Amino acid sequence: MALELHPLEQFVIKPIVPLHIGKIDISFTNSALLMTIAVLLATAVVVIGTRREELVPGRIQSLGELAYEFIGNMIDETVGTDGQRYFPFVFTLFMFILFGNVLGLIPFGYTFTGQIIVTFAMAAVVFIGVTLIGIWRHGWHFLSFFVPHGVPIVLLLLLVPIEFLSYLIRPFTLSIRLFANMLAGHTMLAIFGGFAASIGVLGLLPLGLDVLIFFLELLVAVLQAYVFTILTCLYLNDAINLH
């Protein structure tokens, strides 16, 4: 019976304004619409919040200040004051993912962070950017990152390839973590919703469960934005301070 449901239908990309240049499809899709809304909302929170700076902040101002201080403290704790020059990038990343995750929870909406290509693009930007920062700051000395301190030479033959592989695998784990969380969470909501619709009065039981899962998903949405950002900070720390 469960196979009759289509819980993955919510991830289908539908064009809203079809646009084609030659053979390239650049249609404005529901994914692009949600991204635009997320960017506009995140910008609005910060811009409107700081337009009239009051000593006792209102709702929007305290939301903006909270997010700003949260990311500022996170960079201070993980990277140190050296990392503050990368604050704009980390803050933008956090707000984009946070608004994408939370907007995706609106029923009949769309979750663009549930697309592997979106999360992988973000993770690839982080990975390439962090590697370039490391090479730019340390030059050839950056390679010492792959050599653990105080290890016998024989063991290094084994450890250096492992360190190198675990460095190369970072963009994949970073992107799949966010993608899998969003995919599994939203699919689970849809499956339990399908149960509730198909078994009549008894359906109140899965419906109640759905409400509880929704709160878990709200926690996960905020938490995964936090995890993506703090891992970006940790990678930045590796590049700037080399262990």
Partner 1 sequence: MDLASAKMIGAGLACIALVGAGIGIGNVFAALINALARNPAAQVTPFAFLGFALAEATGLFGLAIAFLILFVF
Task: From residue 73, give the alpha-carbon distance in Å to each of 43, 61, 79.
Answer: 20, 18, 10
Cβ closer to partner 1: 176 or 209?
176
Q: Which of 74, 98, 97, 96 is nearest to 86 (CA)?
A: 74
Site for partner 1 in 191-230 (CB under 8 A): 220, 223-224, 226-227, 230
Quick check: 115 binds partner 1 (CB under 8 A)?
no
> According to CB under 8 A, which residues from 121 to 150 bind partner 1?
none
Q: Which stretch binds partner 1 (CB under 8 A): 32-40, 94-102, 178-186, 204-212?
A: 178-186
Rule CB under 8 A: say whether 105 interacts with partner 1.
no
Q: Which is nearer to partner 1, 61 or 224 (CB)?
A: 224
Does residue 177 touch partner 1 according to CB under 8 A? yes
In the complex, the smallest distance separating the C-beta of residue 8 from partner 1, rounded to whole angstroms, is 5
Q: Is 153 a residue that touches partner 1 (CB under 8 A)?
A: no
The reply on whether position 56 binds partner 1 by CB under 8 A is no
Output the CA–CA distances (angstroms, integers) from residue 200 to 4, 70, 189, 203, 206, in the order listed.
17, 46, 18, 5, 11
Nearer to partner 1, 71 or 133 (CB): 71
Query: Number of residues in contact with partner 1, rule: CB under 8 A?
Result: 22
Query: Which one of 111, 181, 232, 237 is in contact with partner 1 (CB under 8 A)?
Result: 181
Q: Which residues bind partner 1 (CB under 8 A)?
A: 2-3, 5-8, 176-177, 179-181, 183-185, 187-188, 220, 223-224, 226-227, 230
